[in-house]
C-alpha cells in the first residue's frame, strides 16, 4: 500500500528522540551533561500537530531532562524517557487514546526502534537511518534526523487532512 494512503489514517505521531528529533550527536560537557540540538521547524510542526488535535508522543531510550522540558513547552506531554521497552509504551498510548495500529505513524532511526516500528500502521525514518530501519520503513524522509524529518512527516499528513495552514495562535518555537 502506498504510504500516502496510510497517511490518511494517521491520528498519532510517535517519535524516537536521538537520531530523529536530533541529529544523533551529543556534546559532552565537562560536568558529564550531554547536550543535544533540536530543529525549530520540527518544533513548530510538533506544536501545531498538538493544537490540531493529533496525539503526539516521544518514546526514547535516552533520559535527558532537557528533552522533557522542550517537549512540554511544545505541548507534547506523552514523553517516555529511559524507555527500554518501546512496545509497552506504545501499547499504553494505544490504550490511553483508544488508537488502532493503523492510526499511528512512528519515526525511528536505529535498532532500538525496530520492534515498535513493526507494530504500527506507518513506519517512517529519516534519510540517515540505519539500513535495517530503512528496510522496514513505509516512508524514508528526504531529510536527516534533526534536520526536518519530523516536520516532513507531520506536514505531509496534515496537508492530506486539510489541517496544515498558518495560524496566528501558534506559539514560537
Give the model confidence (pLDDT) of 32-78 as tens digits.
Answer: 888 999 999 999 999 999 999 999 999 999 988 999 999 999 999 99
* Cα angle, residue 98 at apex, residues 160 and 102 outer, rounded to 5°: 45
Assess if residue 170 is contained within a domain. Answer: no
Assess if residue 149 is contained within a domain. Answer: yes
Whether the Cβ atoms of residue 109 and residue 146 lie closer than 8 Å to each other: no
- How many other β-carbons are positioned within 10 Å of the β-carbon of residue 63? 12
Assess if residue 166 is contained within a domain. Answer: no
Assess if residue 86 is contained within a domain. Answer: yes
Assess if residue 172 is contained within a domain. Answer: no
- How many other β-carbons are positioned within 10 Å of the β-carbon of residue 41? 16
Burial 154-167 (b: 16+ CB within 10 A, else e): bbbbbeeeebbeee
pLDDT at 40 (0 to 100): 97
What range defines the domain where residue 106 resides?
A: 3-160
Q: Which domain CATH number covers 124?
A: 3.40.50.1000
Assess if residue 117 is contained within a domain. Answer: yes
Give the model confidence (pLDDT) of 96-125 as tens digits.
Answer: 999 999 999 999 999 999 999 999 999 999
State how many domains the chain has. 1
- Distance (Å, whole) CA 13 – CA 39: 17
Number of helices (H), then strands (E), belonging to the chain: the values are 7, 8
**pTM for the complete prediction?**
0.93
Assess if residue 171 is contained within a domain. Answer: no
Amino acid at each position: 500500500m502506498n504510504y500516502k494512503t496510510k497517511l490518511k489514517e494517521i491520528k498519532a505521531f510517535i517519535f524516537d528522540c536521538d537520531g530523529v528529533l536530533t541529529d544523533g550527536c551529543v556534546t559532552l560537557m565537562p560536568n558529564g551533561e550531554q547536550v543535544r540540538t533540536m530543529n525549530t521547524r520540527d518544533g513548530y510542526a510538533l506544536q501545531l500537530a498538538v493544537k490540531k488535535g493529533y496525539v503526539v508522543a516521544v518514546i526514547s531510550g535516552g533520559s535527558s531532562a532537557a528533552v522533557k522540558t522542550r517537549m512540554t513547552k511544545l505541548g507534547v506531554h506523552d514523553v517516555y524517557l529511559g524507555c527500554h521497552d518501546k512496545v509497552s509504551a506504545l501499547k499504553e498510548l494505544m490504550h490511553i487514546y483508544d488508537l488502532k495500529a493503523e492510526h499511528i505513524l512512528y519515526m525511528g532511526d536505529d535498532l532500538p526502534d525496530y520492534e515498535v516500528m513493526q507494530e504500527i500502521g506507518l513506519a517512517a525514518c529519516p534519510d540517515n537511518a540505519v539500513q535495517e530501519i530503512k528496510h522496514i520503513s513505509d516512508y524514508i524522509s528526504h531529510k536527516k534526523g534533526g534536520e526536518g524529518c519530523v516536520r516532513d512527516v507531520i506536514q505531509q499528513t496534515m496537508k492530506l487532512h486539510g489541517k496544515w495552514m498558518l495560524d496566528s495562535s501558534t506559539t514560537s518555537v
